[in-house]
Structure 1
Amino acid sequence: MGKFLFITEKPSVAMDYVKLLNVKGTKLDGYIESDKMIFTWCVGHLVTMSYPEVYDEKLKKWTLETLPFMPKAYKYEVIPSVQKQFNVVKALLTREDITTIYVCTDSGREGEYIYRLVDEMVGVSGKEKKRVWIDSQTEEEIKRGIKEAKPLSDYDALAASAYLRAKEDYLLGINFSRVLTLVYGRIIANMLRNDRVVISVGRVMSCVLGMIVDREREIRSFVSVPFYKLSSTFKIGDELRYEGEWKAVEGSKYFESALLYNEGGFKKREDAEKLIEDLRSYLTYNKPVVDKITKSTENKAAPLLFNLAELQNECSKKFKINPDQTLSVVQSLYEKKMVTYPRTDARVLSKAVAKEIIKNIKGLTFFKQDEEIKSAAENIIEKKWQEKIVNSKYIDDSKITDHYAIIPTGEGLNSYEGLKGIEKNIYETVVRRFLAIFYPAAKYSKISVDTIIGAEHFFTNNKVCVEKGYLEILKPEGSKEKDMVFLSSLKKGQKVELDAFNIKDGETTPPKRFTSGSIIIAMENAGKLIEDEELREHIKGAGIGTSATRAEILKKLEKIEYIKTNNKTQVLTPTSKGEMIYEVIKESIPSLLNPTLTASWEKGLKMVAQKEIVTEEFMAKLEKYTKVNVDRVAKSNGYRIVKRINTVKEIYK
C-alpha cells in the first residue's frame, strides 16, 4: 500500500499535523516519515519567476529597444536560499511509494500558488492530489479538512488567478519600472542629488502612493473658512437648564440666506450678533416656547465580525501598530490554534459554522485568565443567545468566498500565558468582538426638543443608553452621555426662560491624513475612506490589493522611501522622492493612480477564480495595457515635468 505525503507551508504547521494526527514518525532532514505518512513543508515560496535576463542575456541591460518585455511562456526558478528544502520536497513528490499528495499550504490564493509552482517545477504526475482546505489549525478542523479533501483540480481556477496575479505584477513592474527609469530616472536623480534612481512602480503600490500624495496635497492647499454658530441656554425654574442649537430652517428669516456658512452658522460674527440683537428685542415682550417634542427608542446591534482589514484598522487606532504587525500577530495566533484563518475579506459566518458555534463559545468558558470573558461566554450559553443569530446579519453564506470572519476557536488557551502584551491585546479584541454578536442590542432613549423664539428654531437632542446589551462586552471609548431625563416632562406650547445666548467660533478643517489603518480600509473600498463601519460593508466591492497583500504594499513603499510612517500616531505622509515619483506617474501612466481602475484588475482576478472569465481574456487585456503604456512613455519627452518636480523639491526644502 502506498504512502500519503502531506505538504504544508511552514515547518511548524507540519509539526502540528504530526502531533494532531498522533503520528509516530522519524524526523529526518526536511521531513518526518512514519509507516503510512510523510510530512514535509515549503518555507514560504520555494519557486519564483525568472528575471528577463534568464530569457535572454541581452535583457539584463535596460534599453527602450527591448521593451515591452512580454514572454510567450513564463520561466520559473528555485530560490537559491531554499534550494535544499526544494530538493527534499522534489525527492518526496517523485518517490514511487507515495501515491497520494495532500496539499496543506494556507487555504487561499497565495497558498495555492506556493504549491502549484513547486508541482509545476517538479513535474509531478501519476499521483492522486488532494487539497486540504481549513479555516483553523484546530485538531477537529484539520481532521475534517483531510477527510473532506477535494481533488486539487477543483482549485484550478483559483490557481489560474494566482498565476495571473503574479504575471500582472511581473509585467507591469518590470516594463513600467524600466521604461520610466530610462525616460525619467536621470531627472529624478539630479533633483535628489543621487547618482542613480530606479523608479519602482506597481499596479497596487503606485495607486496607494497616489492616494497618500493626493491627500497630502488636499491638506496643503486647504484654506480654512471661519464660521459662527449660535446657541442658547434655556432654563426651567432655577435649577434645570438645556442648550439648543439654532438652525435656519424653513420659516427662519435667514432660511437659505447667502449670509450663512451652513444652516447652523454664519460666515461673519456680526451677522450672528445681529440675530441675537433681534431675538433679544423679541424677548422683551415674549418668551421662548417649546414647539415640538419627539421621543423615541433606538436599538443598535453589535458591529459585524472582523475581517483582516477591519482588524488592522482597529489595531492601528487602539494600539498604534502598523498593519504588517497586526497580520504577523494574528497569523501567530492562528498557528497557535487560537483564532481562525486571518487572511479573510468576510465579516460574517456561514450557516454551517453557525450550527457548531457553541463549541467556540464553550471553549472560552475555560478562559480562566480573563474572568470577564469567561463569564460572558457562560452567560451566552446559559441564556441560549447563540440560537438567535441563525437568521441575523452575522450569518450570510453569500458574503463568504474562501473563508469566514476571524473568530476565536475556543482552543489553544494554554498558549495564552506565553503571549506577549500586544498578542494578548489583539486576541482579546477578536474575542470581545465575537462574543458581542450574541449579546442583545444596546437600547437608547432619544428625545428631541424644538424650542422657538419667534420664527427662529433652537434644537436640543439627548440620547441615553438605557440597556447596555453588547456594550458590556465591547466597552467603546468615548464620553459618557448626559442624562437629561427632565426633558421628558416638557410639553408642547410650554414657555421657558432664556438664560443666555452663545456664539461659538469655529473653522473648517482639512481632511485627515491617512493612518496605516485607515489606508487599509480605503484600499478595501477602492480608494474611498468610508468612516461608517456598517456602510462600508453594504457598499463593499472590489478593493485595491487583497487582505493578504495590503500590509506588504505599505511596507514596500516605506522601504523604498516613497512614504513615511509616524510610529507613534501611525500617520502616513509622502516623502519628496515619493511626490516626485507621483509626478512622473501622473505625467506618463496616470491610470496607475486611479483606484477604480486598479480595483477593476483585482475584480478581474476574482472573476477568473470564479470561472466567470477565462485566463486568455484577462491576459490579452493585460498585455495590451502594458504595450500601449510602454509605447507612449518611450515616445514622451521626460523634461516636460521638470518644472513640476522642481516645485516638489521647493516644498520639501
Structure 2
Amino acid sequence: MSKALFITEKPSVAMEYVKLLNVKGTKRDGYIESDKAVFSWCVGHMVTMSYPEAYDPNLKRWSLDTLPFLPKEYKYEIIPAVSKQFNVVSGLLKREDINTIYVCTDSGREGEYIYRLVDQMVGVQGKEKKRVWIDSQTEEEIRRGIKEAKDISEYDSLADSAYLRAKEDYLLGINFSRLLTLKYGKTVANATGDKLVVIAVGRVMSCVLGMIVDREREIRSFVKTPFYKILGSFDGNSSGEYEEEMVYEGEWKSVEGSKYKDSPLLYNEGGFKKREDAEKFIEEIGEKIFEQEPVIENIKKTVESKNAPLLFNLAELQNECSKKFKISPEETLNKIQSLYEKKLLTYPRTDARVLSKAVAKEIDKNIRKLLKYDGDKEIKGIAENILNNKWYSNLEKTKYVNDSKITDHYAIIPTGEGLQSYNGLTDLEKKVYNLVLRRFLAIFYPPAKYNKIAITTQAGGERFFTTDKVCVEEGYLNVLKEYKKNKEEKNLKFLSKLKKGQIVDVVDMEVKEGETSPPKRYTSGSIIIAMENAGKLIEDEELREQIKGAGIGTSATRAEILKKLEKIGYIMSDKKTQVISPTQKGEMIYEVIINSIPTLLNPTLTASWEKGLKMVYGKEIEPDLFMKKLEDYTKLNVKKVMDRMNMGDMHGFFEEVKGKNSNGVKAKSSSKSKKNSNTDKSENGARESLGLCPICKTGDIVKNSKGYGCNNWQSGCKFFVSEICGKKIPVEQIKNLMSHGKTDIITGFKSKKGNEFNARLIIKGGKIELSFENS
C-alpha cells in the first residue's frame, strides 16, 4: 500500500505532526511509521556548498592567481555531523511505497532551501511533492496546511531566490575574503600584533560592520555646540480676574517678523550661539514691553487621536525586547521560536506588521480562546471588553489589515492555543509572550485622545510659543500600560481659560543653555531596525512602516549576522545595556574594505541585492540575470583590487585606531613619548600618510607646515589643501575626506560677508568642493 512521507525541519516538529494528526505509529531510528504515513525530519541544514578544494585540490591553498573563483556548476556535500539522519531521509525518499512527499520545513526561503538541497542530493524522481505552508503550529493550521498543500513547483521561484542568496554569499565571501586577506592580511596582522589575520568579508556582514563603525566615528568626531534659548514666563491673570495663579512659560523662536529671522547670531531658530547675545536680546525685550504691552496673539485648541501601534514583526519585536528586557536579537528569536513551537504564537520570521483579510475575518476566534488565559488577570477583562463591544468587527477596514504588505506570513500574534504550557515557560518567555499578547489586543481598543493647546504670546515684537497636551481618553494605552500621568496636566486647565487678544504680564525672562548631542550608539535592537530600513535608523514607528522597502539581510538572518560579527571579534556588545560598538580589529577591517571594495559598506547597494532576490521570487526577473550581475560584480571588484598597489597608507589609519580606546578616546601617552612624538612624522622620520591622493592615485597625502599635500608633488601632483573659507581643516577631517570621499559636517566656515556657515568637504572630479547636504 502506498504511503505519504512528511519531512519537517526538526524532530520536535515531526513529533507534533504525529501527535496532532493522531497517528498511531512505530518509532524507528530517525523516523516514525504508521500504516498510512511516514514522518521524518531534517536537522536544520543537512547539505552545504562545497569549498573550492572540492573542485580542485590545488584551490585549498589561497592564491591571487586562482581568483576570481566562479564555478560553472556548483558542488554540494552532506554535512558530516548530520550524515546519519541524511541517509535516513534519503532512504525514505527513495522507497517505492512512498508516492507522495509532504514538505513541511519552515514556511520561508530558508526552510525551502533546506528541503530542496536534500531533494537535489537524493535525486528524487517520479513522486508527487506537495508543499505544506502554515502560519502557526496549531492543529487547525497544520490540518489546513496539509489539506491545501500545493504542488512544490508552485514554490520554484522561492527556491530560485534561496539558491541565489546562497551563491551570492558564497561568491562574495570566498573571493573577497581570500583577496583581501592575501593583499592586506599581513598589514592588519602587523598592526594587531597577530601572527595571521583572515579578513572575513560578507555581503551583509561587512555592510553592518560599516554601519557600526560609521556611527562610532560620527560620535568620535562630534563636537558639542552650545546654544542659548530664551524662555519667558507670563502671567495670564494680570487683571486679577481669576483666583488662582496663571503663570505659564513660552519659548522664543525667530519666526517670520522677528528682528532675528535668519540672523547669523543664531544656532537655529530657537537659540543664540553666544550667551551675551541672548542676554542682550532679553534687555531689548525689557525695553520694548513698556512701549507695547505683551498680548496673547493666538490660541489654537485641538483634539488629537492616536491609534495603537502596528503589530510586531520579528525586527520590531527584537528591538522592543532589546529595550525592555536587555536581551540580544538572537535570544529574542530563540524565545519566539520556542513560543511558536509550543503553539502560543504564530510564525516568527516575518517582515509583515499587519494581518491578512482572511485572518481578520476570523480573528474573534483568537480573542475568545484568550478568555482561558490565566497568566495575567487583566487579560480576560480586556478580551471580554473587545468581544462584548464587538471592536473586532471592523478590523478589515483598519491599517492593521493589508494583504499587499504580506509576502509570506502575517504579523506575530497569539494563536489563543497552547495556553496549558504557559506555566512551564521561563520568566523571559512569559515576558515576551505578554508583550506580543498586549500589542495584539491593543489594536482592537479605541484610540487614545488628547486635548492640545498651542498659544502664541507676543512680547516686544517677538513671539513666544507654549504648547501643552493632556490625555483625556486612554483607550489602547490601558492595554499597553504605557500611559503615565503628566505632572503638568493642571496647566491645561488654566491655559484653556486664556483668550486671544488678552494682555499678559512678563514675569521673567531667562537664558537656558543647551548643547547639541552626538548620535547614539546602536543597540542590538536599533541596529536590527536600521538593517530592516537599509541603514536608516528611523525612530518613528509609523514612518518606518511607510518607507519600508528592501532591507539588509532578512528577518531570519539578522540576529545571526550580529552574533558572527561579535564571534570573530569585529564588534562587541554590552550585555547589560545591549549597546554595540566596533573593536579595534573591526575598525581596521573597515579601513581595508572602504579602501578596496567600498561598495560592500553601502547599505543601499546591499539592500538592492536583497531586493533583487525578492524580484526573483516574484518572477519579475530571471535567475540567470541576477547571477550574471553577481558574477560581473565579483569579477570587477577582484580586478580593481588586483590592479591597485598594496595599501601602505593603511598604517596611518591602523595606528590611529590603536590610539583609541573602546569609547573612541585617545589613549594617554607617557611624558617621555609625548616629548619625543611628532604628530606629522612616524618613528622612521617619514610623514604619516593621511590617505591615498585622490588626484594621482599613487601618492600619499601628508601634513606639512602650510597644510596638506601629496608627497608626489615633485612628480607634478598639485593636490593641496590649506585654509578654506577662513577655516583650518582638522587632520581628522582630512583623513575622513581621503578615506570616505567626504568629511563630517564642519562648523565655522565664513562667507565673504563674514557670516558663519556649516558644510562638508567632498571630492568631486579630483577637486575639493563644499557640500551643503544635511548641513
Number of the residue aligned with 2:345: 339
Opposite residue 53 of structure 1, the aligned amino acid is E
Q: 1:518 aligns with which of 517, 521, 526?
A: 526
Q: Report Cα offsets for 1:48-107 as digits up to 9, x if no partner.
A: 111111111000000011111111111111111101100110111111111100000000
Number of the residue aligned with 1:30: 30
Q: 2:470 aligns with which of 464, 469, 488?
A: 464
Number of the residue aligned with 1:122: 122
Opposite residue 20 of structure 1, the aligned amino acid is L
User: Alignment partner of 2:633: what SS?
Assistant: helix
Unaligned stretches of 5+ in structure 2?
238-243, 662-666, 668-775
Q: Hey, what's the Cα distance between the residues in 1 that align with 2:609 and 2:440?
A: 33
Q: Report Cα offsets for 1:265-300 as digits up to 9, x if no partner.
A: 111111111111112223345542111110111111
Q: Report Cα offsets for 1:207-248 as digits up to 9, x if no partner.
A: 000000011111111111100000111223462221111111
Q: Report Cα offsets for 1:312-333 as digits up to 9, x if no partner.
A: 1111111111111111100110
Number of the residue aligned with 2:543: 535
What does 1:383-394 correspond to in 2, within 5 Å? 383-394=389-400
Q: Hey, what's the Cα distance between the residues in 2 that align with 1:78 and 1:479?
A: 60
Number of the residue aligned with 2:659: 650
Report the aligned-residue RMSD. Answer: 1.1
Q: Hey, what's the Cα distance between the residues in 2 that align with 1:106 and 1:235?
A: 66
User: Alignment partner of 1:343: what SS?
Assistant: coil
Number of the residue aligned with 1:576: 584
Aligned length: 653
User: How far has the Cα of 1:451 moved from its partner?
Assistant: 1.0
Opposite residue 566 of structure 1, the aligned amino acid is D
User: How far has the Cα of 1:601 moved from its partner?
Assistant: 0.4
Number of the residue aligned with 1:242: 248
Q: 1:567 aligns with which of 565, 568, 575?
A: 575
Opposite residue 452 of structure 1, the aligned amino acid is Q
Opposite residue 195 of structure 1, the aligned amino acid is K
More contact order relative to length (CA 8 Å, sep ≥ 6): 1
Q: Report Cα offsets for 1:154-197 as digits up to 9, x if no partner.
A: 00000010000000000000000001000000110111111100
Q: 1:408 aligns with which of 414, 434, 443?
A: 414
Q: Hey, what's the Cα distance between the residues in 2 that align with 1:457 and 1:560?
A: 56
Q: 2:298 aligns with which of 292, 301, 313?
A: 292
User: Alignment partner of 2:77: what SS?
Assistant: strand
Number of the residue aligned with 2:650: 641
What does 1:20-59 correspond to in 2, within 5 Å? 20-59=20-59
User: Alignment partner of 2:145: what SS?
Assistant: helix
- TM-score, with length taken from structure 2: 0.83
Q: Hey, what's the Cα distance between the residues in 1 that align with 2:228 and 2:484?
A: 26
- TM-score, with length taken from structure 1: 0.99
User: How far has the Cα of 1:478 moved from its partner?
Assistant: 5.8
User: How far has the Cα of 1:368 moved from its partner?
Assistant: 1.4
Number of the residue aligned with 2:451: 445
Opposite residue 632 of structure 2, the aligned amino acid is K
Q: Report Cα offsets for 1:546-599 as digits up to 9, x if no partner.
A: 000000000000000000001111111000000000000001100000001000
Q: Hey, what's the Cα distance between the residues in 2 that align with 1:284 and 1:456?
A: 14
Q: Hey, what's the Cα distance between the residues in 1 that align with 2:592 and 2:570?
A: 13
Instruction: Please say which of residues 640-649 and 491-500 is displaced more in the overlay.
Output: 640-649
User: Alignment partner of 1:58: what SS?
Assistant: helix
Number of the residue aligned with 2:270: 264
Instruction: Please say which of residues 273-282 and 388-397 is displaced more in the overlay.
Output: 273-282
User: Alignment partner of 1:182: what SS?
Assistant: helix
Q: Hey, what's the Cα distance between the residues in 1 that align with 2:246 and 2:498?
A: 11
Q: Does 1:427 align with 2:433?
A: yes
Number of the residue aligned with 1:211: 211
Q: Hey, what's the Cα distance between the residues in 1 that align with 2:642 and 2:178?
A: 10
Q: Does 1:621 align with 2:629?
A: yes
User: How far has the Cα of 1:650 moved from its partner?
Assistant: 2.3
User: Alignment partner of 2:394: what SS?
Assistant: helix
Number of the residue aligned with 1:547: 555
Number of the residue aligned with 2:320: 314
User: How far has the Cα of 1:635 moved from its partner?
Assistant: 2.7
Q: Is residue 463–residue 481 contact of structure 1 (8 Å, CA) maintained in 2?
A: no
Q: Hey, what's the Cα distance between the residues in 2 that align with 1:604 and 1:128?
A: 31
Opposite residue 303 of structure 2, the aligned amino acid is T
User: Alignment partner of 1:312: what SS?
Assistant: helix
User: Alignment partner of 2:65: what SS?
Assistant: helix
Q: Report Cα offsets for 1:100-122 as digits up to 9, x if no partner.
A: 00000000000000000000000
Number of the residue aligned with 2:759: none
User: Alignment partner of 1:527: what SS?
Assistant: coil
Q: Hey, what's the Cα distance between the residues in 2 that align with 1:165 and 1:51?
A: 16
Q: Hey, what's the Cα distance between the residues in 1 that align with 2:561 and 2:125?
A: 36
Structure with higher Rg: it is 2
User: How far has the Cα of 1:475 moved from its partner?
Assistant: 2.0
User: Alignment partner of 2:300: what SS?
Assistant: strand
Opposite residue 495 of structure 1, the aligned amino acid is I
User: How far has the Cα of 1:479 moved from its partner?
Assistant: 6.5
User: How far has the Cα of 1:649 moved from its partner?
Assistant: 2.0
User: How far has the Cα of 1:303 moved from its partner?
Assistant: 0.8
Q: 1:488 aligns with which of 487, 496, 505?
A: 496
Number of the residue aligned with 1:93: 93
User: How far has the Cα of 1:615 moved from its partner?
Assistant: 0.9
Q: Hey, what's the Cα distance between the residues in 2 that align with 1:205 and 1:447?
A: 48
Number of the residue aligned with 1:606: 614
User: How far has the Cα of 1:637 moved from its partner?
Assistant: 1.9
Q: Is residue 300–residue 441 contact of structure 1 (8 Å, CA) maintained in 2?
A: yes
Q: Hey, what's the Cα distance between the residues in 2 that align with 1:183 and 1:577?
A: 17
Opposite residue 6 of structure 2, the aligned amino acid is F
Q: Hey, what's the Cα distance between the residues in 1 that align with 2:145 and 2:367?
A: 22
Q: Hey, what's the Cα distance between the residues in 2 that align with 1:275 and 1:588?
A: 53
Opposite residue 316 of structure 1, the aligned amino acid is S
User: Alignment partner of 2:353: what SS?
Assistant: coil
Q: Report Cα offsets for 1:500-531 as digits up to 9, x if no partner.
A: 21211101011111111111111111111111
User: How far has the Cα of 1:477 moved from its partner?
Assistant: 6.2
Q: Is residue 448–residue 475 contact of structure 2 (8 Å, CA) maintained in 1?
A: yes
Number of the residue aligned with 1:76: 76
User: Alignment partner of 1:386: what SS?
Assistant: coil
Number of the residue aligned with 2:131: 131
User: How far has the Cα of 1:363 moved from its partner?
Assistant: 1.2
User: Alignment partner of 1:137: what SS?
Assistant: coil
Q: Report Cα offsets for 1:446-491 as digits up to 9, x if no partner.
A: 1111111121111110111111111111122667262221111111
Q: Hey, what's the Cα distance between the residues in 1 that align with 2:500 and 2:627?
A: 69
Q: Is residue 464–residue 481 contact of structure 1 (8 Å, CA) maintained in 2?
A: no
Opposite residue 283 of structure 1, the aligned amino acid is I
Q: Hey, what's the Cα distance between the residues in 2 that align with 1:250 and 1:80?
A: 73
Unaligned stretches of 5+ in structure 1?
none
Opposite residue 651 of structure 2, the aligned amino acid is V
Q: Hey, what's the Cα distance between the residues in 1 that align with 2:123 and 2:273?
A: 74
Q: Report Cα offsets for 1:607-646 as digits up to 9, x if no partner.
A: 1111111111000010111111112212322224222222
Instruction: Please say which of residues 639-648 and 584-593 is displaced more in the overlay.
Output: 639-648
Number of the residue aligned with 2:176: 176
User: Alignment partner of 2:392: what SS?
Assistant: helix
Q: Is residue 62–residue 178 contact of structure 1 (8 Å, CA) maintained in 2?
A: yes
Q: Hey, what's the Cα distance between the residues in 2 that align with 1:435 and 1:332?
A: 21
Q: Does 1:227 align with 2:236?
A: no
Q: Hey, what's the Cα distance between the residues in 2 that align with 1:18 and 1:373?
A: 32
Q: Is residue 477–residue 483 contact of structure 2 (8 Å, CA) maintained in 1?
A: no
Identity %: 70
Instruction: Please say which of residues 472-481 and 245-254 is displaced more in the overlay.
Output: 472-481
Q: Hey, what's the Cα distance between the residues in 1 that align with 2:483 and 2:201?
A: 40
